[in-house]
Structure 1
Amino acid sequence: MDQKRTDLLRGTLDLLILKALALEPLHGVGVSRRITQITRGAFQVSFGSLFPSLHRMEEKGWVEAEWLASENNRRAKYYRLTSSGKAQLKAGEREWGQVVKIMTAAMDSA
């Protein structure tokens, strides 16, 4: 992935994490996989970026975490959206939609 894509990812990582968790609680590796899946492979989040973001989002109250057994019977920290996180996801989706409209209009202009 080139540097420009990495910069874009840094600016949108919270929104991608929230979207990844919208369907069900996931452990960190599951969040990373879901982001790769929903972006059709365009973004692959490093754990060095993912886990600090998850911890920050936990401090903000957007996600809650609990230790559970993973699919391979190992202890893993599972994250789930809180009601505040769901509200943040909706707000982020609205804001992103506006950015897309503005950028599309700008790129289509003469």
Structure 2
Amino acid sequence: MGRQMTEMLKGTLEGIVLAILAMRPAYGYEITAWLRGQGFADIAEGTVYALLVRIEQKRLVDVQKVPSEKGPPRKVYTINAQGREYLEEFWRTWSFLAERLEQLHEGADKNV
């Protein structure tokens, strides 16, 4: 992943993780594996775990400790009502930005 992609991902990863959790509850490794499966091969587990701590502190998710077959219990994250509101705002913002960027892109193509 190039530097520009990494920087853009930093700004959107919180919304992406909340969108994943809106589909179903998950624990950190599952989220990382899903992201990697979607082409974000260079994403570090530590990045995802740090983000999960932040969204937990912001009270955007509920956390349940679930016994694990290997090692300590896993923290399973579930998006809550506050997290859903935050995610809705994320999608509104994303749509606004995507529309404006597309307009810029189309305008740039016409001037080439």
Normalised by the length of structure 2, the TM-score is: 0.86
Structure 1 position 27, deviation (Å): 0.6
SS at match of 1:22: helix
In structure 2, distance between residues paired with 1:43 and 1:99: 25
Matching of residue 9 in structure 1 with residue 9 in structure 2: yes
In structure 2, distance between residues paired with 1:15 and 1:96: 9
SS at match of 1:77: strand
Which amino acid letter does the alignment assign opposite residue 32 of structure 1? T
**Structure 1 vs Structure 2: percent identity of aligned residues?**
24
Which structure 2 segments of 5+ residues have no match? Answer: none
Which structure 1 segments of 5+ residues have no match? Answer: none
Matching of residue 48 in structure 1 with residue 46 in structure 2: yes
Q: What value does the CA root-mean-square deviation take over the aligned residues?
A: 1.5
Cα distance change of structure 1 residues 34 and 46 upon mapping to structure 2, 3 Å threshold: same
Cα distance change of structure 1 residues 91 and 43 upon mapping to structure 2, 3 Å threshold: farther
Give structure 1 regions of 4+ aligned residues with deviation exceeding 6 angstroms: none
Higher Cα radius of gyration: 2
User: 1:48-73 CA distances to partner (integer Å, 9 max, x unpaired)?
Assistant: 21111111110111012121034xx2
- The count of residues paired between Structure 1 and Structure 2 equals 106
Aligned positions of 1:1-110 closer than 5 A: 1-37=1-37, 40-42=38-40, 44-70=42-68, 73-74=69-70, 75-109=73-107, 110=111
